[in-house]
Amino acid sequence: MVRKVSMPGANALMLGALFYGSAIADEVPAVPAVVTQVCAACHGIDGNSTIPTIPKLAGSNPDYLLRELRDFSAGKRKSDVMGAIAPTIDAADLKAAAAYFGKQKSTSEPVLDAALAQVGKKIFLQGDEPRGLPACAGCHEEDASGSKRFPHLAGQHREYLTDQMQKFRNDVHMYPGATYMREVAKRMTEDEIKAVVEFLAAL
């Protein structure tokens, strides 16, 4: 029986369990082997990657994560890195990894420019109707937590968010369903992208 541990130090306990065998492993939530062996090196053991170009997965909807993994495997979402890794992992492990990362709590990035984040907040929540810029919250949710269909953006690394927006803008971002995001990104100025990224990273 797996019991949830939600006290401070649970992570240390979990790592302890990984390294010191099964005696206490029964006491902590199971980390799928594929996560420790493959994903953790880049995305972090709890899905909070510390590498700014690699997305945090913690707190994303498991269905969203699984869909992206299947799209990487099928070559529908292009990525040199994930396109090479995903097809080598079997379907049950991809599902286990998506379920596990979806359950983790995402961390946020430190606030660097509070005034800029306020500008970004307004764009995120309201968009700019006269210019045909939709409110991001309409799809990504008010707290940027995402859903089955739309990615979780809260607390995501600035570098990753900026890179994704630039790729949408320049049509190099080959998501299967990215037609909409490409339109959105093209209607934004560089400064607006910076502001939204600043708001999202610190959420």
CB 23, min distance to ligand HEC, A: 27
CB 138, min distance to ligand HEC, A: 5
Vertex 84, ends 61 and 65: CA angle to 5°?
5
Q: Decide if residue 164 touches ligand HEC (CB under 6 A).
A: yes
Please pick, from the candidates 180, 189, 190, 191, the single residue that binds ligand HEC as defined by CB under 6 A: 180
**CB nearer ligand HEC, residue 13 or residue 133:** 133
Number of residues that bind ligand HEC (CB under 6 A): 38
Q: For the chain, what's the residue count?
A: 203
Q: Decide if residue 38 touches ligand HEC (CB under 6 A).
A: yes
CB 78, min distance to ligand HEC, A: 8
**CB nearer ligand HEC, residue 17 or residue 192:** 192
**CB nearer ligand HEC, residue 8 or residue 51:** 51
CB 190, min distance to ligand HEC, A: 13
Q: 120-158 burial string, b = 16+ CB within 10 Å, else e?
A: bbebbeebeeeeebebbbeebeeebbbeeebbbbbbbbb
The C-alpha atoms of residue 56 and residue 157 are separated, in whole angstroms, by 7
The C-alpha atoms of residue 174 and residue 119 are separated, in whole angstroms, by 29
Task: Output Rg (C-alpha) for the chain, integer angstroms.
Answer: 18
